[in-house]
């Protein structure tokens, strides 16, 4: 319990520091040491059982474009128990832009057991990687229930 509280407190402080540092004019304003500490804290955060800490850390690793997070995020995308966790992992991998992670997101768009996750993976891939990679049904059309064409 103390570990979770400590990590949550560190995560909150790190998020506040990153938010202050990343104004539109200063997107990369973290020093190398600050970046490394934030990355290390967030990598610990994705290992937590607390869903909020795990998903918040996942999102922030994507915002930081952490290449060290690619393999753990790919595992989260593949093995995550919660759909929301897999979706956030896919978003983070698309934001990072590493070829290994992008391939995993594209595969999840085709093969994830959850229709919701596969649709979001396709959407993120279209939005962040390559527009037109997946076709989407027009809202109100007969096949709108199948949003992403596989």
What CATH code is carried by the domain that includes residue 75? Answer: 1.25.10.10
49: in domain: yes
Q: What is the 3-state secondary structure (H, E, C) of 10-55?
A: HHHHHHHHHHHHCCCCCCCCCCHHHHHHHHHHHHHHCCCCCHHHHH
CA dist., res. 75 & res. 121, Å (int):
15
140: in domain: no
Confidence of residue 4 (pLDDT cuts 50, 70, 90): low
Question: What would the mean pLDDT of 37-49 be, rounded to a whole number?
Answer: 96
Looking at the DSSP bridge assignments, the partners of residue 148 are: 136
141: in domain: no
CA dist., res. 70 & res. 62, Å (int):
9
135: in domain: no
146: in domain: no
- Digit-coded pLDDT (tens) for 123-146: 999 999 999 888 875 555 555 445
Model's pTM, two decimal places?
0.75
Q: Which domain, by its residues, includes 41?
A: 2-21+29-128
Are 88 and 58 contacting, i.e. CB atoms less than 8 angstroms apart? yes
Are 75 and 90 contacting, i.e. CB atoms less than 8 angstroms apart? no
145: in domain: no
């Amino acid at each position: 319990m103390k570990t979770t509280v400590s990590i949550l407190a560190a995560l909150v402080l790190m998020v506040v520091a990153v938010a202050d540092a990343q104004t539109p004019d200063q997107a990369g304003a973290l020093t190398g040491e600050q970046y490394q500490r934030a990355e290390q804290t967030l990598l610990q955060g994705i290992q937590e059982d607390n869903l909020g800490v795990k998903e918040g850390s996942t999102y922030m690793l994507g915002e930081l474009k952490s290449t060290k997070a690619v393999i753990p995020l790919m595992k989260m995308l593949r093995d995550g128990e919660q759909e929301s966790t897999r979706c956030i992992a896919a978003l983070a991998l698309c934001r990072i832009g590493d070829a290994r992670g992008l391939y995993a997101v594209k595969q999840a768009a085709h093969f994830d057991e959850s229709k919701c996750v596969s649709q979001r993976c396709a959407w993120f891939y279209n939005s962040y990687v390559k527009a037109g990679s997946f076709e989407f049904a027009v809202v109100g059309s007969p096949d709108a229930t199948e949003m992403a064409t596989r």
